[in-house]
């Protein structure tokens, strides 16, 4: 492809609302454009990288024995109502009606859709197991679309669904996908961790998340280096706790309405600012975070401030009458009205007068008692650890990291087949529910994870497997016939040999060409400059950026 013909609207300036590198560079390199909040157009270079990822995913899915199909992005409401997720997804689902007032949604995922497809088609155990997938646009009306195509409202996801006859064969299918995912993310050259996840709204009996490590990630994981221990923040049987303030005198200040900065909170609690920031980070996700802290009221309040004390949150204790008022509100669902999965240390169940709260001001309670006011899963060994603590029974320590969730696999069991009454007939002619799994890869999000891990100040540094083009030939001065002739010759030879190659034949200043080249991040580069008459070029890689003067033939050999 000739840059003189390529639609590549690069930008010199950093776009204003781009907070992270991938968002900034995708815009600046002319790879994506925003159409509406969380809705993007993929331009030629960006779309090529997206398709590269799609094809890697497709290749590994096919090799793993999965079969590609394509279901509509529009899904009928009935199946979501049957499974109970029409309500559960809530405002995150884009809902619509046709001219006859029939309700639909734009699919945020497709467990129900695939289940009903198989329910109506597969009758016998002889047709099982099955593994079907699609690469389809998904829609989620995210509360906070951000970071460009990292958290978009329209995005591309590969979603696969397996259908089996028993928990054991489901496990085999699940591990088959687990391994396929390792191959996919290895081929994307991502630095990632696999951690146990929380099944959340998906339901089922087990899950793993594939997390590309990045400080800009919205997820927090706890892991050990060998991979022996790994869990998402929600799932981890660990809770980051702050050391307690030393004596009550220190706690007086809590009664001022807010500690509005991490510094204030950290100073007040006499704890390390970084630890404090981490604790606040952990607790202030998009999800309501619950903190359960035994002890007396003042101390609890101090801790709550530590966890939730930002300017946005009004931290104060609620009066008993206010709690009563909340409890008597219509729609109050649980002991505390909070629909959140909770794991408790057994010790918590034996303590009185806990402070419980989420990161919203309406949700703080004092004098709460386990059993009477809240319930959850009780475990014997909820560990209260900080980063660097030893993982029991190993030589390793717990590490905390941020990352981008690029993939998620779930054992669903019979949750959806039961809800949608999807059965097959076994050897004895008896109807049984399918054992299901579901498996997602964020295709467009993976592009952002690759860039977060591969960039410098000047732009993207694509790994070959995801690069929109593998090589670029730059003609420094298009008025110089020798340079043009050599550039054209190399370009044509590489193209003939099947290399995906760009030729910068634009009538631009060299500075512009070099800047653009760094920005769009093509991995292998040949520069045709002053020595073109002698067939000498400069060869470099985007990662090393070091030029070597070699013959054109040698440079071509390097690329092939
Ligand atoms: P998150 O925790 O980031 O909100 P999720 O757990 O809700 O993601 P899943 O339902 O597990 O997402 O969907 C499978 C995959 O789809 C995710 O692992 C992620 O890579 C991708 N994905 C989910 N939401 C978005 C989004 N808003 N924009 C881009 N990709 C997304
Ligand atoms: Mg989500
Ligand atoms: Mg998630
Ligand atoms: Mg997920």
Mean pLDDT lowest for which of 135-139, 209-213, 381-385, 467-471? 381-385
Residue written as token pair 């809800």: 419
Please, which pLDDT band fits residue 143 given cuts at 50, 70 and 90?
Answer: confident
pLDDT at 329 over 90: no
Q: Does the beta carbon of 82 lie inside 6 Å of ligand 1?
A: no
Which residue in 299, 165, 300 sits closest to 291, CA to CA? 300
pLDDT at 238 over 80: no
Q: Does the beta carbon of 31 lie inside 6 Å of ligand 1?
A: no
pLDDT at residue 200, rounded to an integer: 64
pLDDT tens digit string along 395-427? 988 888 889 999 999 999 999 999 999 999 999
**CA distances in angstroms from 443 to 125, 325, 464, listed in the order given:** 33, 46, 17
pLDDT tens digit string along 1-47? 999 999 999 999 999 889 899 999 999 999 999 999 999 999 999 99
Closest-CA residue, ligand 1 atom 18, reads 407
pLDDT at 246 over 50: no
Pocket test for ligand 1, best of 405, 437, 439, 446 (most atoms within 8 A of CB): 405
pLDDT at 89 over 90: no
279 vs 38, higher pLDDT: 38
143 vs 251, higher pLDDT: 143
Q: What is the ipTM of this complex?
A: 0.99
CA angle 371/365/275 to nearest 5° reads 105
pLDDT at residue 274, rounded to an integer: 57
**CA distances in angstroms from 492 to 472, 485, 500, 542, listed in the order given:** 12, 11, 11, 21
Counting ligands in written order, which one lies closest to the CA of residue 109?
1
Pocket test for ligand 1, best of 54, 94, 208, 408 (most atoms within 8 A of CB): 408
Please, which pLDDT band fits residue 361 given cuts at 50, 70 and 90?
Answer: very low
Which residue in 392, 385, 404, 439 sits closest to 236, CA to CA? 385
Please answer whether residues 235 and 195 qualify as being in contact, where contact means their C-beta atoms are separated by less than 8 angstroms: yes
pLDDT at 380 over 60: no
Q: Does the beta carbon of 142 lie inside 6 Å of ligand 1?
A: yes
pLDDT tens digit string along 498-544? 999 999 999 999 999 999 999 999 999 999 999 999 999 999 999 99
**Percentage, residues of the chain above pLDDT 70:** 71
pLDDT tens digit string along 205-226? 789 999 999 999 988 788 888 8
Please, which pLDDT band fits residue 370 given cuts at 50, 70 and 90?
Answer: low
The number of CA neighbours under 13 Å toward the Cβ of 530 is 1
Q: How far is the CA of 7 from the centre of ligand 1 (A)?
A: 30
**Percentage, residues of the chain above pLDDT 90:** 62
245 vs 227, higher pLDDT: 227
Taking residues 437-463, report their average pLDDT. Answer: 98
pLDDT at residue 400, rounded to an integer: 82
CA angle 465/466/468 to nearest 5° reads 115
Sign of CA dihedral 131, 133, 138, 143: positive
Taking the C-alpha atoms of residue 388 and residue 139, their distance in angstroms, rounded to an integer, is: 39
Write down the pTM of the prediction: 0.79
Please, which pLDDT band fits residue 119 given cuts at 50, 70 and 90?
Answer: very high
Mean pLDDT lowest for which of 2-11, 252-261, 365-374, 504-513? 252-261
375 vs 403, higher pLDDT: 403
Which residue in 531, 530, 550 sits closest to 540, CA to CA? 550
Q: Does the beta carbon of 407 lie inside 6 Å of ligand 1?
A: yes
Please answer whether residues 445 and 404 qualify as being in contact, where contact means their C-beta atoms are separated by less than 8 angstroms: yes
Mean pLDDT lowest for which of 127-141, 203-217, 346-360? 346-360
Please answer whether residues 405 and 209 qualify as being in contact, where contact means their C-beta atoms are separated by less than 8 angstroms: yes
Closest-CA residue, ligand 1 atom 31, reads 442
- What is the rounded average pLDDT for all residues in the chain? 80
Please, which pLDDT band fits residue 296 given cuts at 50, 70 and 90?
Answer: very low
pLDDT at 341 over 50: no
pLDDT at 557 over 70: yes
pLDDT at 85 over 50: yes
Closest-CA residue, ligand 1 atom 29, reads 151
pLDDT at 251 over 70: no
pLDDT at residue 369, rounded to an integer: 60
Please, which pLDDT band fits residue 280 given cuts at 50, 70 and 90?
Answer: very low
Q: How far is the CA of 343 from the centre of ligand 3 (A)?
A: 18
pLDDT tens digit string along 482-497? 999 999 999 999 999 9
Please list, in sequence order, all residues whose beta carbon lies within 8 angstroms of the beta carbon of residue 292, skipping any fewer than 6 positions away: 342, 344, 348, 354, 355, 356
pLDDT at 300 over 60: no
């Amino acid at each position: 492809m000739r840059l003189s013909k390529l639609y590549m609207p690069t930008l010199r300036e950093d776009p204003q609302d781009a907070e992270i590198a991938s968002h900034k560079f995708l815009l600046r390199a002319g790879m994506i454009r925003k159409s509406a909040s969380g809705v993007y157009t993929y331009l030629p270079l960006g779309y090529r990288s997206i398709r590269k990822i799609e094809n890697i995913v497709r290749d590994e899915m096919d090799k793993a024995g999965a079969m590609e199909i394509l279901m509509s992005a529009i899904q009928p409401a009935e199946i979501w109502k049957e499974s109970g997720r029409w309500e559960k997804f809530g405002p995150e689902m884009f809902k619509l009606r046709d001219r006859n007032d029939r309700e639909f949604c734009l699919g945020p995922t497709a467990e129900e859709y695939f289940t009903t497809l198989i329910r109506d088609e597969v009758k016998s155990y002889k047709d099982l197991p099955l593994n079907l997938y699609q690469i389809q646009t998904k829609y989620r009306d995210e509360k906070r679309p951000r970071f460009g195509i990292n958290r978009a409202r329209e995005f591309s996801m590969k979603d696969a669904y397996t259908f089996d006859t028993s928990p054991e064969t489901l496990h085999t299918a699940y591990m088959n996908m687990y391994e396929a995912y390792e191959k996919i993310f290895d081929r994307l050259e991502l630095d990632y961790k696999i951690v146990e996840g929380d099944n959340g709204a998906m339901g089922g009996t087990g899950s793993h998340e594939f997390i590309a490590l990045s400080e800009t990630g919205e997820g927090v994981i706890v892991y050990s280096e060998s991979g022996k221990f790994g869990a998402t923040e929600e799932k981890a049987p660990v809770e980051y706790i702050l050391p307690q303030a030393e004596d009550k005198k220190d706690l007086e200040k809590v009664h001022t309405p807010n500690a509005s900065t991490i510094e204030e909170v950290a100073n007040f609690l006499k704890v390390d600012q970084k630890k404090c920031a981490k604790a606040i980070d952990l607790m202030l996700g998009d999800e309501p975070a619950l903190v359960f802290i035994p002890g007396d009221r003042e101390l609890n309040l101090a801790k709550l401030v530590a966890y939730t004390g930002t300017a946005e949150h009004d931290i104060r204790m609620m009066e008993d009458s206010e709690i009563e008022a909340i409890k008597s509100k219509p729609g109050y669902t649980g002991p505390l009205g909070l629909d959140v999965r909770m794991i408790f240390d057994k010790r918590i169940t034996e303590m009185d007068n806990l402070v419980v709260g989420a990161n919203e001001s309406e949700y703080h309670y004092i004098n709460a008692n386990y059993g009477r006011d809240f319930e959850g899963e009780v475990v014997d060994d909820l560990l209260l650890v900080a980063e660097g603590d030893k993982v029991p029974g190993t030589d390793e320590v717990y590490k905390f990291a941020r990352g981008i969730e690029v993939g998620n696999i779930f054992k669903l069991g019979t949750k959806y087949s039961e809800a949608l009454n999807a059965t097959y007939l076994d050897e004895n002619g008896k109807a049984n529910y399918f054992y299901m799994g579901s498996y997602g890869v964020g295709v467009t999000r993976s592009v952002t994870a690759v860039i977060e891990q591969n960039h410098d100040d000047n732009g993207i540094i694509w790994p070959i497997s995801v690069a929109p083009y593998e090589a670029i030939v730059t003609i420094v001065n298009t008025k110089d016939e020798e340079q043009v002739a050599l550039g054209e010759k190399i370009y044509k030879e590489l193209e003939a040999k099947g290399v995906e190659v760009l030729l910068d034949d634009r009538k631009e200043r060299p500075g512009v060409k070099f800047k653009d080249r760094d920005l769009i991040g093509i991995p292998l580069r040949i520069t045709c400059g002053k020595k073109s008459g002698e067939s000498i070029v400069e060869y470099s890689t985007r990662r090393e950026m070091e030029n070597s003067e070699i013959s054109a033939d040698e440079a071509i050999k390097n690329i092939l």
